Amino acid sequence: MTDKQSPLTHKARTQLIDRILGRKSVNDNGAGHAPQNHAATAWQPAAAAAQVPEAFTRFDRHPSYEKMRIPQAAAKRLGLDNPFFKVHEGVASAQTRIAGRDYLNYSSYNYLALSGHPQVNQAAHEAIERYGTSAGASRLVAGERPVQRELEQALAQLYGVQDCAVFVSGHATNVNTIACLFGPKDLVLHDSLIHNSVLQGIQLSGATRRAFAHNDLAALEQLLLQLRGQFERVLIVVEGVYSMDGDSPDLAALVALKRRHQAFLMVDEAHALGVLGATGRGLHEHCGVAGAEVDIWMGTLSKTLAGCGGYIAGEHALIELLKYSAAGFVYSVGISPPLAAASLAALRLMLAEPQRVATLRERSGQFLRLAQARGLDVGLSQGHCVVPLIAGSSLKATRLAAALFERGINVQPIIHPAVEEKAARLRFFISCAHTEQHIEHTIATLEELV
């Protein structure tokens, strides 16, 4: 202790200890801390408890639950089975097995058929043997495993940026990143069809939110002209491939806009990685734009990369900030070693076998062309990996999905409130494992049923 420092008084030292331990200090006319009584004390009820309506104490009376039950009851009266939560009995790829029957499958994100690939499985198995099944705690607490950093470095290299951080949930990646980086003095501008995770992140951040019409960059610029000067930081958020509609934005134009108005640009690559570009590197390869031109690359491990989790790629300062400040990274367990190993193996296979990406592009294009030729409403799809079939109502979408299921084709309906009622649809996820015959049979069956 230096001569410029003075020792804490007994009272100050006691109060400091109380704060560290989360205890309330009790002072007796400044005489110090009241003695602690650690003996159990009998609890005495209040004279009269508050009168609470029974509905506030039961989940089956929760307004959201009651609202959810209305369409379920209506579907049951119409003889429609619940189309959700089907149990798949093996690897779900272009084909799957449900309740002992084989189905042609369009309800999996397994775009490059890498989930279940022998090399991916082997990588996960070896990681289990070496590291076990769990990281044990957050990476700040439990430390890291080499495979976690190898995956992050491979993803950073893929985008041509400095670094990457992997989170344990794709949805939580968007929520925590936006909430960590932006606040009440900031503005977030997003495409009107952006994913729920982005909306949740904006809400948590406290930033002002404005949507612009889907892929309408003129509308985006108008918002920037009107609002940019009123906020500190401005973030623009788009998707590489929109998961409901299967179309993409103009990345070069977005980069020009963000530069002109001094904004950050974030691209959600969940459905674009492994799909866009000659080698599957995503929107920047597809549009011929350097990855470093985008401030925040977000993606998921659960689709092309055959794992589970999400990632953010960008400059060193961004990643370091997230690793020390994003609640979903700091206070959540690190990605499990077998999942990291599986995704790393899938990424390497994607780059080593670009024919998978080419085949996916061919099959998706075939599906789109045949559907359009037969007058089916495929919405905005550009034939990347997602092709919707607009049914026009939740009831029609559910009935059509049920009819296809009876014919051995598994595809999920997307109904209100996930989309507007008039935009209710079937959503077909195409895989490189689908054959030309699969696509032809599916379109012919749809033509019969629609």
Distance CA 57, CA 53 (A): 7
- Give backbone dihedrals phi and psi of 313, rounded to 5 degrees, phi first: -125, 140
The type of residue at 368 is: L
Closest CA to 340 of 152, 159, 169, 91: 152
Which 3 state secondary structure label does DSSP give 11?
helix
- Tell me the residue type at 224: L
pLDDT tens by residue, 355-409: 999 999 999 999 999 999 999 999 999 999 999 999 999 999 999 999 999 999 9
* Distance (Å, whole) CA 144 – CA 146: 7
Q: At a CB cut-off of 8 Å and minimum separation 6, what does 122 contact?
A: 345
Helix (H, G, I), strand (E, B) or coil at 88: strand
Quote the CA–CA distance of 189 and 421 in Å, as a whole number. Answer: 25
Nearest CA to 310 out of 409, 442, 164 is that of 164
Sorted by where each starts, the structural domains of the chain and their CATH numbers stand as 85-112+354-448 (3.90.1150.10), 118-352 (3.40.640.10)
Low pLDDT (below 70) residues in the chain: 1-41
Structure tokens at 334: 């690190």
Share of the chain above pLDDT 90, in %: 82
Residue with tokens 């400044």: 30
Non-local (6+) Cβ contacts of 147 within 8 A are 127, 131, 337, 340, 341, 344
Cβ–Cβ < 8 Å for 268, 313: no
Q: Give CA–CA dist 23/18, Å, rounded.
A: 5
Burial of 49 (0-12, 13-18, 19+ CB in 10 A): exposed
